[in-house]
Amino acid sequence: MFLRSFAVQGSWNYRSLIGTGFAFALLPALREIYRERGELDAAVERHNGLFNSHPYLAPLALGAVAAMEAEGESPALIDRFKTAIRGSLGTLGDRLIWATWRPLCLLIAIALAAAGAAWWVVPVAFLVVYNVGHVWLRWWGFRAGLREGRNVGEKLRHSAVGTAQRGSSVVGAFLVGLALPLLVSGGVLADGMGWEWVAAASAAALLGLRRGPALRSPLAIVLVAVAIFGCLTGLLE
Amino acid sequence: MNLPLLLVLGGFIGLDATSAPQLMISRPIVAATLSGLAFGHPAEGMLLGVILEAFSLVILPVGAAKYPESGTAAAAAAAAYASVAAPGLDAPVLFLSAAFGLVWERVTGATVTWVRRLNERLVEWRPSPGRVVSREVERRHVAAMCADFLRGGLVTVVGAVAGAALIGIAAPIWTLRAGAALGIMFVGAAAMVAASLPLFGGWRERRLAFSLGILCGLLMVLFR
């Protein structure tokens, strides 16, 4: 079941979100609990509906639901439990992983590249650091869900997840600061960059700090426009 | 260009982005390095990955949001670079590959939406008499993952072939100096790395940690 949880988003869609993936991942437990084919099919159908969660926290829900099914809780109660936790597991995971842990690990990789690390060190360091946290979170959630069952929400409330997110945010902000001078100085290039480009990159960093993520699309358009301009001027010459 | 190899690599990268196992080989910094490694330019692939990663840092796959898929696009861009570039760092081709990657990620993002719509049809079914529901769920779930694998592979191969053709035409007529091409890319990357600060609380909340980071970064530059 734990291994199947890695594929919980395999059939992600706009109607049932990860509902079918949830049923797919839960199947080994349901097969153990329901030996009769009719009961098993009914249980699978119950779980093959709308469900959502951050993928890394889905094992927590899977473990808890498997425990509730094993304890013989009523389908209505299990449904209510799933409805109650799906919002918080999504929000918590989005904030903790997508908005904090992943960019933090990527900034480590960018800082390493900008500091002149060998090409293979950069992706390997990222994959190792990121996945230590990733797999640990999945395993912790799965164990907590199995152990606590329907009380897993309480466990989550008293966990160190909030503190971890705050701490990671501080480290992330430090890494943004660390990566900028390394990147601006052109450290990733053997010859560095000329002073005029260092000045331009510093000004661009200030603009980035001011505008934030909204800068992405305009900047991408500018980069593509420069590429087109570079070609058109070549054609006209 | 070894297209079967790229098809498999792109398939795994596309699969990793959402379906399974989300180990983040689908990040541009990894995908472009892998693609560069497969085609004999790992260091340049990594460099291209750093540029495209800086642009992808602020994309958050929250809820049912539609967003560009940067991993397969980065793999396609790195493969295109490898097939056109001269030996060593070819800055103009790298710039054109980065620009192509930023355009192609829009196309790959659209294909993610198509597969998700296809999944809707795959998982919306009524059990017919005689069919074992549990096996049907497994079959349809695995079929959805196969579709995503195929999608990832195809968009990477098509992107690499299209990218190589376009960059092959554009590179000989390119007029900007190599230094300018690299400079513009790093200006963009620096802006996007700075733009990621709000993810960690923004300037007001994290100015101390950010300033300390700047100080350490400056010291590293000075003593390098």
Task: Tell me what pLDDT residue A237 has.
Answer: 73
Do A25 and A97 belong to one domain? yes
Q: Hey, are the CB atoms on B200 and A134 less than 8 Å from each other?
A: no
B196 contacts chain A (CB < 8 A) = yes
* Tens-place pLDDT, residues A158-172: 888 878 889 999 999
Q: Hey, are the CB atoms on B197 and A130 less than 8 Å from each other?
A: no
Do A189 and A214 belong to one domain? no
Q: Residue A152's Cα: distance from chain center in Å? A: 21
Do A220 and A163 belong to one domain? no
Q: Hey, are the CB atoms on B195 and A134 less than 8 Å from each other?
A: no
Question: Model ipTM?
Answer: 0.94
- Tokens encoding B162: 């299209």
Structural domains of chain A, count? 2
Do A139 and A232 belong to one domain? no
pLDDT at A188 over 70: no
* Tens-place pLDDT, residues B150-181: 999 999 999 999 999 999 999 999 888 888 89
pLDDT at A154 over 90: no
Do A151 and A119 belong to one domain? yes
First-to-last C-alpha distance (Å) of chain B: 38
Report yes or no: B144 and A11 within 8 Å, Cβ to Cβ.
Answer: yes
The angle that helices B70-84 and B133-173 make with each other, rounded to 10 degrees, is 40
Mean pLDDT confidence for A178-187: 88
Q: Which of A18, A51, A176 to mutate to test the interface with B (most CBs of B within 10 A)?
A: A176
Q: What is the dihedral of CA B123, B59, A231, B161, to 10 degrees?
A: -30
Q: Hey, are the CB atoms on B192 and A6 less than 8 Å from each other?
A: no
Mean pLDDT confidence for A53-82: 95
Do A203 and A117 belong to one domain? no
In terms of CA atoms, which chain B residue is nearest residue A193? B183
* Tens-place pLDDT, residues B89-128: 999 999 999 999 999 999 999 999 999 999 999 988 776 7
* Tens-place pLDDT, residues B34-75: 999 999 999 999 999 999 999 999 999 877 778 899 999 999
Do A88 and A161 belong to one domain? yes
Do A146 and A207 belong to one domain? no
pLDDT at B207 over 90: yes
Do A14 and A111 belong to one domain? yes
Do A134 and A152 belong to one domain? yes
> Considering chain A, what is the average pLDDT of its residues?
92
**Domain of A10?**
4-193
In terms of CA atoms, which chain A residue is nearest residue B185? A223
User: What is the share, in percent, of chain B residues with pLDDT greater than 70?
Assistant: 98
Of B123, B134, B138, the CB nearest to A13: B123
Do A46 and A8 belong to one domain? yes
Please tell me the distance in Å from A36's CA to the nearest CA on chain B.
12
Q: What is the DSSP string of chain B?
A: --HHHHHHHHHHHHHHHTTS---STTSHHHHHHHHHHHTT-HHHHHHHHHHHHHHHTT----TT-----HHHHHHHHHHHHHHHPPSS--HHHHHHHHHHHHHHHHHHHHHHHHHHHHHHHHH---PPTT--HHHHHHHHHHHHHHHHHHHHHHHHHHHHHHHHHHHHHHHHH--S-HHHHHHHHHHHHHHHHHTTGGGGTHHHHHHHHHHHHHHHHHHHHHT-
Do A204 and A108 belong to one domain? no
Q: Hey, are the CB atoms on B182 and A189 less than 8 Å from each other?
A: yes
